[in-house]
């Protein structure tokens, strides 16, 4: 059994005190500095600092990957001080940290240094919402495109059915990895109330619906562009070609060294003017040049992207697709999963995004609900101490199941195993096996602990 349960609510950083609020504010401020410049809100101070320090291919996202890895290594060490007497927790912590360091930090950086596309192999659709967009896949080497499609649509759903979603959420995913390591001191803060559970049902499936809608619209948009491209030589066909080229160059600018910025912008100006655009479109080059003169790489890339959108002939589907994609990227990707997902650790527990927003959790959870993973309960052994519920980061009131002698098959369970680990009576066990009889409906009341 773990140590430290009695101290859980006595430490100021763990009991929603003023200190916890201050930590939360610092985390929010950091994420705003990280994300908002990419949406044109304020200068990209983090990238500017790195460039002034002479870093060329190491941008703020690489720095964030490094910081994230360090947070997981240090947090993992502290987590294992408390829970490392369990082999399950030792192995999954080593695995989470190794995946982060190798696949979410080192490999993308090495590929970038070698001028290859940065591949984040451990992030799949729909968590990484744009992984199956046609224009994302088109930019990848064929092996990587096949990997993302097959893993997202076939391999992971099958693994979720046979092993439960813990194979991903508690062993691979970087978001879950940060929650399990750096976030461990706050895991008990997740609400176990019925109200939270009802909200969770609405929000998580709404985000999933939005991802499906965005992906569907982007596929429809790509099909309509492909049809328009067939009209090369006409004004419409040429504008589509120009727009696609500018969109690619916006990505290239973001990844290229700052000293190539001026030359890239010169080439873009020449390409746009050669296409004899309408006056209002040519005028947008002023914004691109202004950002390039400031040396603002992210700002220049954002301006070129705006130019690409403006150059695209407006079809009903492209207008809607890009609006929905922009909405998702900003409100769900940046604010919800990024800023709130981590910023709320000290106030609402470590899995706010996993529980209320993650579309991957929604898909894998639905599969898990009908699959083989469950937490089995030894009959009539529970003494109702409540440790399991307290430590459940997903807000599942495990005690109620244990007291009712009911095995737990919940879509939201990420299989962290902490409930079984902290149980003083060994009542709970994580298992994968076929249902032995009809599941039946389970009536469970919950308490806000
Ligand atoms: S719920 Fe989503 S974000 Fe959280 S660990 Fe699972 S896949 Fe990752
Ligand atoms: S029910 Fe247990 S294994 Fe599942 S998320 Fe909660 S603590 Fe982790
Ligand atoms: S299952 Fe174990 S930890 Fe949970 S309430 Fe019962 S005895 Fe306590």
Nearest protein Cα to ligand 2, atom 8:
416
414 lines ligand 2 (CB under 6 A): yes
DSSP secondary structure string, 120-146?
-TT--TTTSTTTTSHHHHHTS-HHHHH
pLDDT for the residue 167:
97
pLDDT for the residue 366:
96
428 lines ligand 3 (CB under 6 A): yes
Residue with tokens 């106030």: 347
State the Cα–Cα distance between residues 31 and 26, nearest whole angstrom: 9
Which residues have CB under 8 Å from 11's CB, separation 6+?
A: 185
Structure tokens at 399: 């005690």
416 lines ligand 2 (CB under 6 A): yes
pTM of the model as a whole? 0.82
Bridge partner list, 373: 432
Bridge partner list, 376: 429
- Beta-carbon count within 10 A of 118 CB: 14
Structure tokens at 12: 């100021």
CATH of region 370-432, choose from 2.30.30.40, 3.30.70.20, 3.30.70.270, 1.10.645.10 = 3.30.70.20
Calculate the average pLDDT of the chain: 89
DSSP secondary structure string, 40-73?
TSS--HHHHHHHHTT-SS--HHHHHHHHHHHHHH
Nearest protein Cα to ligand 3, atom 3:
423
Nearest protein Cα to ligand 2, atom 6:
392
DSSP letter assigned to residue 412: T
Q: How far apart are the first and last CA of the chain?
A: 20
Q: What are phi and psi of 408, to 5 degrees?
A: -105, 120
CA of 391 to the centre of ligand 2 (A): 8
CA of 270 to the centre of ligand 3 (A): 70
Greater pLDDT, 25 or 301: 25
User: In the chain, where are the structural domains located?
Assistant: 5-193, 230-313, 370-432
Based on the number of CB atoms within 10 Å of its own CB, is 142 exposed (0-12), middle (13-18) or buried (19 or more)? exposed
pLDDT in tens, 425-449: 999 999 998 776 544 444 444 433 3
State the Cα–Cα distance between residues 412 and 285, nearest whole angstrom: 48
Sign of CA dihedral 352, 353, 359, 363: negative
pLDDT in tens, 226-271: 777 777 677 777 888 888 889 888 888 877 777 888 889 999 989 8
State the Cα–Cα distance between residues 409 and 374, nearest whole angstrom: 5
Q: How much of the chain, in percent, has pLDDT values that exceed 90?
A: 63
Q: How much of the chain, in percent, has pLDDT values that exceed 70?
A: 93
| Per-residue pLDDT at 337 exceeds 60 | yes
State the Cα–Cα distance between residues 312 and 15, nearest whole angstrom: 52
Highest mean pLDDT among 1-5, 384-388, 436-440: 384-388
- Beta-carbon count within 10 A of 250 CB: 22
DSSP secondary structure string, 214-283?
HHHHHHHHHHHHHHHHTTTTSHHHHHHHHHHHHHHHHHHHHHS-GGGHHHHHHHHHHHHHHT---HHHHT
State the Cα–Cα distance between residues 247 and 304, nearest whole angstrom: 7
Based on the number of CB atoms within 10 Å of its own CB, is 355 exposed (0-12), middle (13-18) or buried (19 or more)? buried
pLDDT for the residue 439:
45
pLDDT for the residue 274:
85
Sign of CA dihedral 352, 356, 357, 360: positive
State the Cα–Cα distance between residues 372 and 51, nearest whole angstrom: 51
DSSP letter assigned to residue 172: T
CA 82 to the chain's CA centroid = 27
CA of 81 to the centre of ligand 3 (A): 22
91: enclosing H helix or E strand: helix 87-99
User: How far is CA 105 from each of CA 102, 119, 219, 381, rounded to the nearest angstrom?
Assistant: 6, 10, 29, 45
Residue with tokens 């082999």: 87
CA of 423 to the centre of ligand 3 (A): 5
State the Cα–Cα distance between residues 104 and 311, nearest whole angstrom: 34
pLDDT in tens, 153-181: 999 999 999 999 999 999 999 999 999 99
pLDDT for the residue 232:
66
- Beta-carbon count within 10 A of 119 CB: 18
CB 371 within 8 A of CB 160: yes
Which residues have CB under 8 Å from 317's CB, separation 6+?
A: 217, 220, 221, 224
pLDDT in tens, 4-60: 454 555 566 677 888 999 999 999 999 999 999 998 888 888 988 998 888 878 999
Lowest mean pLDDT among 243-252, 269-278, 307-316: 307-316
Mutate which of 176, 341, 351 to test ligand 1's pocket (most atoms within 8 Å of Cβ)? 176
Greater pLDDT, 138 or 228: 138
CB 373 within 8 A of CB 430: yes
CA of 90 to the centre of ligand 3 (A): 22
């Amino acid at each position: 059994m773990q140590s430290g349960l009695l101290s859980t609510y006595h430490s100021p950083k763990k009991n929603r005190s003023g200190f916890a609020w201050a930590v939360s504010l610092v985390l929010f401020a950091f994420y705003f500095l990280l994300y908002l410049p990419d949406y044109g809100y304020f200068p990209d101070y983090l990238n500017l600092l790195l460039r002034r320090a002479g870093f060329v291919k190491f941008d703020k996202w690489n720095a964030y990957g490094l910081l994230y890895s360090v947070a997981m290594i240090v947090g993992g060490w502290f987590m294992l001080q408390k829970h490392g007497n369990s082999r399950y927790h030792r192995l999954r912590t080593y695995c989470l940290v190794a995946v982060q360091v190798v696949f979410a930090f080192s490999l993308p950086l090495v590929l970038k240094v070698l001028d290859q596309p940065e591949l984040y192999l451990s992030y799949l659709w729909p968590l990484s919402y744009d992984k199956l967009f046609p224009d994302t896949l088109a930019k990848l080497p064929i092996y990587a495109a096949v990997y993302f499609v097959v893993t997202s649509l076939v391999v992971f759903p099958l693994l979720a059915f046979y092993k439960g979603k813990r194979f991903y959420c508690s062993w691979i995913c970087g978001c879950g990895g940060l929650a399990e390591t750096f976030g461990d001191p706050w895991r008990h803060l997740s609400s176990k109330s019925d109200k939270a559970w009802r909200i969770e049902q609405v929000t998580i499936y709404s985000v999933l619906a939005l991802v499906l809608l965005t992906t569907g619209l982007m596929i429809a948009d790509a099909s309509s562009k492909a049809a328009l491209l067939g009209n090369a030589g006409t004004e419409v066909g040429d504008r589509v070609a120009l727009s696609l080229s500018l969109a690619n160059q916006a990505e290239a600018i973001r990844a290229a060294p700052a000293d190539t910025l001026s030359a890239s912008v010169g080439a873009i100006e020449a390409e746009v003017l050669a296409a004899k655009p309408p006056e209002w479109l040519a005028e947008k080059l002023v914004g691109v040049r202004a950002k390039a003169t400031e040396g603002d790489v992210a700002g220049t890339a954002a301006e070129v992207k705006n130019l690409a959108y403006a150059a695209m002939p407006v079809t009903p589907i492209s207008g809607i697709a890009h609006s929905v994609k922009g909405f998702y990227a900003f409100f769900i990707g940046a604010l919800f999963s990024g800023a709130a997902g981590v910023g709320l650790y000290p106030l609402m527990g470590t899995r706010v995004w996993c529980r209320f927003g993650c579309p991957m959790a929604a898909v894998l959870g639905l599969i898990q609900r009908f699959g083989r993973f469950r937490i089995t309960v030894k009959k009539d052994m529970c003494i109702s101490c409540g440790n399991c519920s307290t430590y459940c980061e997903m807000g599942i009131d495990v005690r109620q199941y244990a007291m009712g002698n009911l095995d737990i098959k919940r879509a939201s369970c990420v299989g962290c195993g902490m409930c079984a680990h902290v149980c003083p009576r060994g009542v709970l066990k994580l298992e994968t096996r076929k249902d032995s009889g009809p599941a039946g409906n389970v009536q469970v009341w919950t308490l806000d602990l």
